[in-house]
């Protein structure tokens, strides 16, 4: 089949997160012999990258990358941000997405590559979208209100202005609802993210499909002894921005002098974090690491700490830790982190700084606890969060759309599980009238 992926950031022009999933999905499809095209907006990356370096990226055989550059620089993503339409990118996208041989169009982070105005493209294909962030219900993407706390109710104009972004008047025109009606399925990597969207008015059919890691992501190091480090250490990784919560973690290392903290990543908050770490010889910054470097760092750690303050939609770093048999310590107020990092069985949760310190102490000094958590996490990585499980569900979803069969009913919490769809109702018929 021919797949077209549409996303804002990808490959060398990316920050991780959603781009990491798109890369892993495209590679899995290419390994299975499919033709894959990825469309991403270089104008958008250059407009927001700041000092962020280009990533080293080598595409796999069978992947066709379409780097969208308009010649208008920042005006291209700005026009999309202000209007919710692709404008300078429309023709390039339409030519491939509307082609008669395109089988599947999979939208991802569309915020600066076209907004909801591109969701009508690809009418001949199965059209799906993965919500990697909360952009559909939050103009700031993160449900992080005024840059200070988890959103407890919409105050979008004030929050957008406080975040230094132009207001998006098109959000009040029904553009998102109209765009979503063009889709055959809207996918979420966690139940938490799915329910957050449902409660804020995003309708069915909503599909839960967790992230995965390629089978060879860690190159088998999880079965080897970790590299010897001079001292035991905790690891953390992510873009160095305020809402990731590293500023809550670093000062606590003063009370764990027997353990190092090694932080991987770069970002605009890096210098602030480095200043915070002055006088703490057990805090180290590792810079931007690729997949193998990150796997080695995590494999040798007593635990990976994920201190995110804002609502994560999954927390890929949790899965990356599990892949090398390393448990996690996660902030339970970080959205899906309680689901992926605690309820999964592979980590400890905390709700405040005192609990974080206690959890880190336990996992550093209790070998039996650490081993038990590591085994549970690894079971998730090789089971529900494996490449095979993910791709089986992914192809099942697409096959159901293409054949017009009824798909699994929209997700409901386990205590309020929904019954089956009415007889004869299909995903396409429920949400789209384009037959």
**Do 87 and 140 fall within a single domain?**
yes
434: confidence class by pLDDT, cuts 50, 70, 90: very low
Residue 124 sits in the same domain as residue 239: no
Q: What is the pLDDT of residue 416?
A: 33
In a shared domain, residues 282 and 376? yes
274 occurs within a structural domain: yes
Q: What is the DSSP string of 9-52?
A: -BTTB--STHHHHHHHHHHHHHHTT-EEEEEEEHHHHHHH-TTP
State whether 157 and 241 are in the same domain: no
Dihedral of CA 427/181/66/14: which sign? negative
Calculate mean pLDDT across residues 385-391.
97
Question: Are 24 and 168 in the same domain?
Answer: yes
pTM of the model as a whole: 0.88
Torsions phi, psi for 237 (to 5 deg): -155, 150
Question: Do residues 99 and 151 both lie within one domain?
Answer: yes
Indicate whether 393 belongs to any domain: no
Question: Do the domain assignments include residue 146?
Answer: yes
Judge if 167 and 270 occupy the same domain. Answer: no
Q: Containing H/E element for 108?
A: none
Report the number of distinct structural domains present in the chain: 2
Look at residue 4 and tell me whether its pLDDT is greater than 80.
Answer: yes
What's the whole-number mean pLDDT along residues 248-277? 97
Residue 418 in domain: no
3-state secondary structure (DSSP) of residue 403: helix
Higher-scoring residue by pLDDT: 50, 398: 398
Asked if residue 191 and residue 232 are part of one domain, the reply reads no
In this structure, the answer to whether residues 155 and 239 fall within a common structural domain is no
| Residue 331, phi then psi, degrees to nearest 5 | -80, 115
197 and 286 co-located in one domain? no
Considering the domain architecture, whether residues 189 and 261 belong to the same structural domain is answered as no
- Tell me if 324 is assigned to some domain: yes
From 382, 406, 426, the end of a domain falls on 382
Using one digit for the tens of pLDDT, what is the confidence trace for 30-49?
Answer: 999 999 999 999 888 877 88
CB 37 within 8 A of CB 5: yes
**Is there a domain that residue 290 lies in?**
yes
Choose one of 164, 181, 208: the last residue of a domain. 208
CATH of the domain at 190: 3.40.50.2000
State the residue range of the domain holding 309.
221-382
Q: Are residues 138 and 114 in the same domain?
A: yes
Average pLDDT over residues 99-110: 96
Choosing from 141, 174, 208, the residue where a domain stops is 208
In a domain, 421, yes or no: no
């Amino acid at each position: 089949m021919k797949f077209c992926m549409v996303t804002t950031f990808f490959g060398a022009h990316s920050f991780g997160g959603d781009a990491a999933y798109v890369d892993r999905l495209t590679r899995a499809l290419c390994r299975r012999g499919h033709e894959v095209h990825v469309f991403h907006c270089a104008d958008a990356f250059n407009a927001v990258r700041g000092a962020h370096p280009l990533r080293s990226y080598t595409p796999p055989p069978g992947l066709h990358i379409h780097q969208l550059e308009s010649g208008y620089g920042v005006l291209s993503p700005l026009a999309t941000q202000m209007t919710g339409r692709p404008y300078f990118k429309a023709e390039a996208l339409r030519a491939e997405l509307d082609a008669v041989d395109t089988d599947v169009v999979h939208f991802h982070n569309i915020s600066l590559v076209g907004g909801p105005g591109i969701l009508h493209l690809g009418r001949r294909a199965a059209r799906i979208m993965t919500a990697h962030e909360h952009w559909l219900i939050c103009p700031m993407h993160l449900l992080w209100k005024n840059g200070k706390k988890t959103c407890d109710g919409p105050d979008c104009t004030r929050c957008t202005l406080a975040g230094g972004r132009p207001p998006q008047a098109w959000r009040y025109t029904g553009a998102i609802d109209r765009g979503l009606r063009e889709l055959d399925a809207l996918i979420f990597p966690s139940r938490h993210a799915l329910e957050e969207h449902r409660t804020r008015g995003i309708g069915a059919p909503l599909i839960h499909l967790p992230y995965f890691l390629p089978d060879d992501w860690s190159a088998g190091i999880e079965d080897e002894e970790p590299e010897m480090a001079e001292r035991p250490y905790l690891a953390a990784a992510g873009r160095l921005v305020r809402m990731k919560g590293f500023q809550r973690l670093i000062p606590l290392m003063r009370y764990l002098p027997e353990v190092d903290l090694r932080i991987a990543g770069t970002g605009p908050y890096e210098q602030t974090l480095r200043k915070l770490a002055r006088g703490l010889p057990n805090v180290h910054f590792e810079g931007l690491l690729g997949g193998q470097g990150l796997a080695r760092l995590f494999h040798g750690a007593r635990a990976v700490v994920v201190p995110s303050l804002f609502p994560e939609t999954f927390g890929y770093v949790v899965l990356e830790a599990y892949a090398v048999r390393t448990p996690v310590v996660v902030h339970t107020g970080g959205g899906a982190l309680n689901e992926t990092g605690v309820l999964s069985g592979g980590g400890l949760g905390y709700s405040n700084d005192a609990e974080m310190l206690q959890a880190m102490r336990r996992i550093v000094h209790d070998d039996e606890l650490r081993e038990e958590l590591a085994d549970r996490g690894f079971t998730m990585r090789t089971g529900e969060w494996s490449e095979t499980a993910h791709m089986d569900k992914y192809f099942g979803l697409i096959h159901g759309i293409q054949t017009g069969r009824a798909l699994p009913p929209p997700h409901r919490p386990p205590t309020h599980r929904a019954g089956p769809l009415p007889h004869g109702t299909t995903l396409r018929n429920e949400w789209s009238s384009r037959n």
